[in-house]
Amino acid sequence: MDAGFDGFNPVEAKAGCDALGFARRYGDRLLFCGGFDVRILESGDRERIRQEITSLLEAVNKMGVGYLFGSDHSISTNVSYDTYRYALDVYREHMIY
């Protein structure tokens, strides 16, 4: 922040980064991108995908921090197109404007 950064991209869950922890600590000064663990998408478990996306979005919305929804890193070929579309649909149901 002292160097002039306005955001953190990506917040990588696989590397141990805690998107909500960072948001609590720096949410008044930084925008956050990512943080959704791509391994959850790779599981293909729609119930888990819905739960994780909904929880994440509700938490950042409640905190009032700047957040751009996205995976914590690249979407691998282990994620089907249908699963990815499903995740986007869930996001759109809960997205923040």
Q: What is the pLDDT of residues 34-75, one digit of tens each?
A: 899 999 999 999 999 999 999 999 999 999 999 989 998 889
Whether the CA torsion 72, 33, 95, 25 is positive or negative: it is positive
Query: In angstroms, rounded to a whole number, what is the distance separating the alpha carbons of residues 2 and 40?
Result: 34
In contact, 83 and 67? CB cutoff 8 Å: no
Mean pLDDT of the chain: 92
Half-sphere exposure of 51 (CA within 13 A, CB side): 6
DSSP lists the bridge partners of residue 96 as none
Q: What is the pLDDT of residue 10?
A: 85
Q: What is the pLDDT of residue 41?
A: 96
